[in-house]
Every structure is written in structure tokens, then in C-alpha cells.
């Protein structure tokens, strides 16, 4: 079982003819994802990936012709806002934005617009989603995870891969892995994903990978302590990061004493979460 994406997902790739779009589309297609369309303005009528995927000028045209129900965007930052708004206007229920470097002010507007449109956004600046054995939307390597009952949600990209590989090496399978992105303004939060995993009957435990900056982990801890019945294991990155220095993601910065790793760890442990000292230790803490 999975959340958000599965073998029936019909994917539309925005920016499919660009370098990143075509490369990762090939990877997704090889994994078994049903890519039914690509969108690049001015390239409508073309076919890509050895003639397997048609290209359209607009999302509306692609949806009408293919019945796509999810989009992933590899559109450059200066056009990414318009791409997300176009997908929402076409009434796609699930949008995934891999693009990094989108201004915070623009994302505040996008988030409000998508909320009113009833569309769910994963990202931006995220690796996407993976349901092992069924579907991958984004850039998470498919070969480092097996199907199973562990849900994974993460603010980090590369740490996500490390944890997936550690789970695989320890015989732990994954229901769905979601990289929510590390920017200050994102479409889907830890809390949103935890609610989905809690409601999924085939997810038995959850791994939460957080990092310094913001208070999302503290809000997640409150939900875990109050409402979750499933065990949660966590790792918080950036425990030795100096205040005022951004580490990796735009949202990974300690400012004014807020966003400390120690505060996040304390909140999670108070909610009954086992917090690993290293990503490799996570499988040992899962019950």
C-alpha cells in the first residue's frame, strides 16, 4: 500500500524537453512510472524518449488527451511559478516541484493559490516521492528501497537516500518515501504527511528526517504525541551547525535561538519518538 502515488499514477512532466527533465523522465520511465505526457511550450506535437511520450504545449491539452493525474516540474526557477499555477488551473490534484531557487515571496503566493485551488504540492526544492516497486515521481533513486511497511518523510535529499539504503540493507521495506523539501515555504509539511501515514493501514511505522531551522519538527512532535498510534523514529541533521549560518537548504538556519537541533530532539523525545544519533542507526530503533 502507499500514499499519494502508486502503480495507477498517470504522470505529466513539465519541462520534459530540458536537460534535467529528459534525464529524470527516462529514469522514472525505466522504473515503471506511467509517464503519459510532457509539457514544453512551443514543442507540442513532438515525441520524446524513443517515441514513448507525447509532448504538449499546455497542461490543459496534455490532461485532456491523456488523463494525467499528477505533474512533476523540472522547469527552471524563473518559470517554475507559472508552471505550478498552470498545473493548478488545470485541476491536477497532485503537483511535485523539484526546482530549487524559487523566491520565498513567490512561494507564499503560490501556496495560497494552490490551497484555494485544492491542489497538493510536494516541494519545491525536493527530491519528490517514491513508492517502491510501483512508482517514482522525481529524482529519488529507485534501486535503494524495497516495498514494505515503513513510511519515510524527510526535509533532506541526500539524507533521504542514505536512510533508504540503510533500511534496505537491514531488510526493512518502505511503503512510500516523500521528500517534502527544505525551503522556508513548502506545499506539504511533516504534519500533512504524518496524517497520511497514520491513516494508511499498510504503513506500520514512520521515519522522520528533520534538520535545523524553523519549527516544523516541533509541530510534528505535538501531533505525534497527541494523535499518532504508530511508532516514529527520527534523525535531526545539523546538530553542530553554528547559529546564523545556513546549512544546505534555505530553511536550514538557526536564527534568534529558534530552530535549534536540541529543541527539535527534545520535543520529539518528549512525544515518545526514538531519535537516532546517525542515519545508519535508524533501522535498529524501528520496532
Cα pseudo-dihedral 257, 262, 264, 269, rounded to 10? -150
Catalytic residue among 24, 143, 202, 249: 249
Query: What string of DSSP letters covers 133-149?
Result: TTEEEES--GGG--EEE
Which residues are paired to 10 by β-bridges?
34
Report the largest interatomic distance among the alpha carbons of the chain, rounded to a whole angstrom: 56
Would you give the DSSP letter of residue 16? Answer: T
Helices within the chain (DSSP H only):
19-31, 59-66, 77-89, 104-117, 158-169, 190-199, 216-227, 261-270, 282-285
Q: How far is C-alpha 105 from the geometric centre of its chain's CA atoms?
A: 21
Per the annotation, the verdict on 143 as an active-site residue is no
DSSP structural state of residue 281:
G
Spell 257-276 as b/e; 16+ CB within 10 A means b.
eebbbebbbebbeebebbbb
Distance between CA atoms of 79 and 18, rounded to whole angstroms?
13
Torsion of CA 194, 199, 203, 206, to 10 degrees: 20
Q: Is the distance from CB of 210 to CB of 279 less than 8 angstroms? A: no
Q: Which residues are catalytically annotated?
A: 249
Amino acid at each position: 500500500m502507499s500514499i499519494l502515488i502508486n502503480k495507477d499514477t498517470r504522470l505529466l512532466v513539465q519541462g520534459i524537453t530540458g536537460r534535467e527533465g529528459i534525464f529524470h523522465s527516462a529514469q522514472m520511465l525505466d522504473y515503471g512510472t506511467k509517464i503519459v505526457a510532457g509539457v514544453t511550450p512551443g514543442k507540442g506535437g513532438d515525441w520524446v524518449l524513443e517515441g514513448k511520450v507525447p509532448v504538449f504545449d499546455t497542461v490543459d491539452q496534455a490532461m485532456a488527451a491523456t488523463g494525467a493525474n499528477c505533474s512533476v516540474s523540472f522547469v527552471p526557477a524563473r518559470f517554475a511559478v507559472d508552471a505550478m499555477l498552470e498545473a493548478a488551473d488545470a485541476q491536477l490534484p497532485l503537483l511535485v516541484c523539484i526546482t530549487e531557487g524559487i523566491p520565498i515571496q513567490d512561494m507564499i503566493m503560490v501556496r495560497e493559490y494552490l490551497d484555494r485551488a485544492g491542489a497538493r504540492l510536494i516541494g519545491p526544492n525536493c527530491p519528490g516521492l517514491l513508492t517502491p516497486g510501483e512508482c517514482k515521481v522525481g529524482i529519488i533513486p529507485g534501486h535503494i528501497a524495497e516495498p514494505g511497511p515503513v513510511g519515510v518523510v524527510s526535509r533532506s535529499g541526500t539524507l533521504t537516500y542514505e536512510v533508504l539504503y540503510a533500511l534496505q540493507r537491514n531488510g526493512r521495506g518502505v511503503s512510500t518515501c516523500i521528500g517534502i523539501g527544505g525551503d522556508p515555504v513548502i506545499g506539504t509539511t511533516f504534519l500533512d504527511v504524518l496524517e497520511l501515514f497514520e491513516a494508511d493501514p499498510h504503513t506500520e511505522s514512520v521515519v522522520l528526517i528533520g534538520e535545523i531551522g524553523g519549527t516544523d519538527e516541533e509541530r510534528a512532535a505535538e501531533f505525534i504525541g497527541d494523535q499518532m498510534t504508530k511508532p516514529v523514529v527520527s534523525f535531526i541533521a545539523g546538530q553542530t551547525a553554528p547559529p546564523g549560518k545556513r546549512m544546505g537548504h534555505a530553511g536550514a538556519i538557526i536564527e534568534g535561538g529558534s530552530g535549534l537541533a536540541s529543541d527539535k530532539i527534545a520535543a520529539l523525545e518528549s512525544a515518545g519518538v526514538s531519535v537516532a544519533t546517525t542515519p545508519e542507526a535508524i533501522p535498529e530503533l524501528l520496532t
